[in-house]
C-alpha cells in the first residue's frame, strides 16, 4: 500500500500545475478507455449468461457500434463555439 501512495504522490507532484481542463480531458479519456473493455465483456455476458447465440450477440454489439458512430457524427456536425 505504501508503494501505491508513493506513486500517487509522485504523479501529484509531477502534474500538479495542470489546468482543470487537462484533468477533465484525462478523466474523459479514462472513461472512454474503460468503455472499450466493457464492450468485450458485454459479448461474453450476452452469450454465457443471457444465452444469446454468437450471431445475436454480434448483432447487438453492431447496433451499439452504429449508435456510437451516429453519435460521433452528430457531435462533429455541430458548429464549434468560440471561447
pTM here?
0.55
Q: Where are the domains of the chain?
A: 19-77
B/e letters for 19-38, b = 16+ CB within 10 Å, e = fewer, are eeeeeeeeeeeeeeeeeeee
The CA–CA distances, whole Å, from 77 to 63, 70, 71 equal 21, 11, 10
17-60 pLDDT, tens per residue? 889 898 889 888 888 888 778 888 999 999 999 999 999 999 99
41 burial type by CB count under 10 A (0-12 exposed, 13-18 middle, 19+ buried)? exposed
Amino acid at each position: 500500500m505504501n508503494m501505491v501512495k508513493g506513486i500517487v504522490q509522485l504523479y501529484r507532484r509531477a502534474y500538479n500545475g495542470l489546468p482543470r481542463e487537462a484533468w477533465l480531458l484525462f478523466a474523459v479519456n479514462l472513461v472512454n478507455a474503460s468503455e472499450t473493455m466493457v464492450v468485450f465483456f458485454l459479448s461474453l455476458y450476452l452469450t454465457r449468461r443471457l444465452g444469446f447465440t454468437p450471431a445475436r450477440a454480434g448483432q447487438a454489439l453492431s447496433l451499439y457500434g452504429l449508435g456510437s458512430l451516429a453519435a460521433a457524427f452528430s457531435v462533429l456536425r455541430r458548429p464549434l463555439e468560440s471561447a
